[in-house]
Every structure is written in structure tokens, then in C-alpha cells.
């Protein structure tokens, strides 16, 4: 049923009956045993239809008391909704336009800014928040909820909180996230699994992401890909379910080559293992945004886990594809991972090595 922008008082049905039967409000009042003023206030929506009044109306008009009470309940609910939407309308400009488009794509709203109150109401319903203040409290407090938006300040980011929170909420609606609520995280088991994860990453194919998901699930880590809204400048992020279960969430859009995906995964594992439980960390798509000590630490972790003591310097100076492939295979790495780091360090011109990357787009299992 589609909500309307008006409310129909039960008195309108009474007024219609009065007109159809050619009687006066006074006559109806006499039949009901009440004052004309009461009938007039019911007709004009100023007085409610009480259970006692509903019983009398049933006898006089022929419409059941239950129907009159339903009309009254719907009227009061519509009035409350319309008042609420009028109040919420003032917040519509606080929602990023790309978050609005994202909600439409997810089927969470059909509203536009032409009906701002309804749009804000749908936004809050998507986030399971009853008021705008509740939304702000949940998603802007560093000490409440599953994630800490203070991380944005640490990175000097201008990312819109409504854009980020909508993507985070979309992840919570996935099967993978819901399944993860029952996981038991084992940090030592995750550390022990790093060699196996590295070995699997050396041969990227269409099963890689599914294998990552299964391997991480065995140690209590959720790994999911969630299509982001436009203009969300993230490759991935780490968050926690109730400070118990780590979630590594990647965008699955930007940088879906094996080098980007594998590097981001190991970077986020660094956050899971080395940072305080419950913190949220964001992996930006531009190097300039990754300037916090936690990000530098996660980068160092990923470099050590993937490249070891020799680091990427071992590959510096290589430009031909076949030489990069040979060196990568010898080191037990996917060529795309090596190319990604050579590009990232500016050791290799971006026009070189691109054909060695494996495109993983569309390979994450549902």
C-alpha cells in the first residue's frame, strides 16, 4: 500500500452518509444520543471515534464498530506520519545524493527530493533508526555501534557519513554478514593461516575470492564484497560485529584486479590482528588518504606477509613482462601483485605490466 500525503478522517465517511441520506448533523446527534457539537467535531476530524461512539455509529449508520475504529486508527497513524515527514524534510540536504541513488538501486526507497520527508523516512528505516538524532548518535559516535567514524577524521577525509553508513548498512543485509554473527574469531588461527592464504593468492582465478571467503571463515573472519555507492573512495575496510567477529569488506568495484584485491585483503588482515578490537579502518582508493599510523602499520604488515624480507625492492628495475612473471613465480607471488606494488611505489611506469593483472570482477560467490 502506498502512503499518501493526506489523512482521511473517519468523520468524512459519516459526512458522506449524512449527505446521501439527506439528514442533518442534529438529526444524527439525536439518533446517537449525543450533542450536535460532538457529531460536528467527528465530521471535521477534531474529535476521535471512541469505542463507545463506534458502537453507536454502527447502530445508526450500519457500518461496523470495528470498521469505524480501523478508520480512526488509520487516520491517527496517517496524521502522525505526515507530521513526522514534515519534520524530517529539513534533513534531506544532509543525505549525500549518491546515497539516495544507492538506496533506490537497492530498492530501499522510491522517493525523490520532491517528497523529502518520505525520502528521509526511508533512509532512516534502512538504517533501522527511528529519528534523525538516533541516526547521528549511532553513526557519528566513536564509542557506539559497530564502527567508529572517528577514523574518518584521522584520515583527513571529506567522505560523507551518510554515504559510508549506507554502504555499511548494505553489508549488514548480506547473507555473509548474517552468517558471520555466529563465527568465533581465533586470532592465532588467522596468523597460522597466513602462509596458506599467501599460497592461494599466488594463483588467482575465478575461484580465488570464494576460497578466500572459506579460508577466512574457518578462523572466524567474515570476507564480503559489497557494491558501493558512486563516489565512495574506498577499496575496502575492516569492522567488527559486536567487537567479536572481524569483517573485511571490500567494494568489489574499483581495483578488482588481483593486485588490488589481494593487497587490500592482507592490509585489512593487518588491521584485524594488530589494531584494537572494535575499531573501523578504511582503505582509500588514493594513496594521499592513507596517512594514519594504523594505515602505515597495516601496509607494513601486508608488505611483510606478501613480500617478506626482500620486499618489493627485489623487483625494482624489471620492466619486461616475462622477467616480472619469472621473478614473481620464484617468490611465490602472483605477477599482478608484484605489478601492483611496482606501480604503487612508482618503480614501474603504469603503461608496463598491466596485462599481467587478473580481473576478478564478478567472481565473488553469492
C-alpha cell at 158: 571529506
Q: How do residues 207-247 score in pLDDT, each as one tens digit? A: 999 999 999 999 999 999 998 899 888 878 899 999 999 99
pLDDT class of 152 with cuts at 50, 70, 90: very low
Residue 276 to residue 279: CA distance in whole angstroms: 6
Q: How would you classify the pairing of strands 245-250 and 222-225?
A: parallel
| pLDDT (mean) for 307-325 | 94
| pTM for this prediction | 0.78
Bridge partners for 274 per DSSP: none
For cell 547473507, name the residue: 175
pLDDT > 90: what percent of the chain?
74
Q: Cβ(114)–Cβ(89) under 8 Å? A: no
pLDDT class of 285 with cuts at 50, 70, 90: low
What the chain holds in terms of domains, given with CATH numbers, is 10-88 (1.10.260.40), 90-154 (no CATH), 175-356 (no CATH)
Q: How far is CA 37 from CA 33, 42, 73, in A?
A: 12, 9, 22
Which pLDDT value is given to residue 195?
98
Which pLDDT value is given to residue 90?
94
Q: What are phi and psi of 6, to 5 degrees?
A: -145, 165
Which pLDDT value is given to residue 315?
95
Closest CA to 40 of 54, 51, 29: 29
Q: How do residues 237-262 score in pLDDT, each as one tens digit? A: 899 999 999 999 998 765 689 998 99
Which pLDDT value is given to residue 282?
67
C-alpha cell at 327: 621473478
Which pLDDT value is given to residue 57?
96
Residue 337 to residue 274: CA distance in whole angstroms: 23
Res 312 pLDDT > 80: yes
First to last CA, the chain: 31
Which pLDDT value is given to residue 145?
35
Choice among 59-68, 164-173, 226-235 with the minimum mean pLDDT = 226-235
Amino acid at each position: 500500500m502506498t502512503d499518501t500525503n493526506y489523512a482521511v478522517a473517519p468523520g468524512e465517511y459519516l459526512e458522506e452518509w449524512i449527505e446521501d441520506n439527506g439528514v442533518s448533523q442534529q438529526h444524527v446527534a439525536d439518533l446517537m444520543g449525543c450533542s450536535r457539537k460532538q457529531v460536528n467535531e467527528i465530521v471535521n476530524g477534531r474529535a476521535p471515534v471512541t469505542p463507545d461512539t463506534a458502537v453507536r455509529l454502527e447502530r445508526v449508520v450500519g457500518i461496523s464498530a470495528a470498521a469505524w475504529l480501523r478508520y480512526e486508527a488509520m487516520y491517527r497513524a496517517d496524521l502522525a506520519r505526515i507530521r513526522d515527514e514534515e519534520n524530517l524534510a529539513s534533513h534531506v540536504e544532509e543525505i549525500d545524493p549518491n546515497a539516495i541513488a544507492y538506496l533506490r538501486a537497492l530498492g530501499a526507497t522510491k522517493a525523490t527530493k520532491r517528497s523529502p520527508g518520505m525520502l528521509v523516512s526511508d533512509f532512516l528505516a534502512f538504517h533501522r533508526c527511528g529519528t534523525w538524532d538516533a541516526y547521528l548518535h549511532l553513526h557519528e559516535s566513536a564509542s557506539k555501534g559497530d564502527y567508529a567514524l572517528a577514523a574518518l577524521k584521522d584520515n583527513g577525509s571529506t567522505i560523507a557519513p551518510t554515504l559510508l553508513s549506507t554502504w555499511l548498512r548494505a553489508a549488514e543485509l548480506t547473507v555473509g554478514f548474517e552468517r558471520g554473527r555466529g563465527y568465533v574469531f581465533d586470532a592465532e588461527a588467522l596468523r597460522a593461516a597466513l602462509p596458506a592464504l599467501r599460497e592461494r593468492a599466488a594463483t588467482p582465478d575465478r575461484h580465488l575470492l570464494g576460497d578466500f571467503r572459506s579460508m577466512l571463515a574457518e578462523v572466524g573472519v567474515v570476507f564480503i564484497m559489497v557494491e558501493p555507492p558512486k563516489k565512495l573512495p574506498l577499496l575496502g575496510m575492516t569492522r567488527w560485529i559486536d567487537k567479536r567477529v572481524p569483517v573485511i569488506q571490500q567494494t568489489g568495484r574499483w581495483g578488482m584486479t588481483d593486485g588490488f584485491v589481494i593487497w587490500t585483503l592482507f592490509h585489512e588482515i593487518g588491521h584485524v590482528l594488530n589494531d584494537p578490537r572494535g575499531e573501523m579502518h578504511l582503505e582509500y582508493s588514493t594513496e594521499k588518504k592513507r596517512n594514519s599510523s594504523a594505515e602505515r602499520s597495516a601496509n607494513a604488515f601486508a608488505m611483510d606477509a606478501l613480500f617478506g624480507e626482500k620486499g618489493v625492492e627485489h623487483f625494482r628495475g624489471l620492466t619486461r613482462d616475462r622477467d616480472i612473471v619469472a621473478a614473481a613465480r620464484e617468490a611465490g607471488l602472483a605477477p599482478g601483485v608484484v605489478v601492483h606494488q611496482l606501480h604503487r611505489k612508482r618503480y614501474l611506469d603504469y603503461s608496463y605490466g598491466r596485462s599481467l593483472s587478473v580481473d576478478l570482477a564478478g567472481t565473488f560467490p553469492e
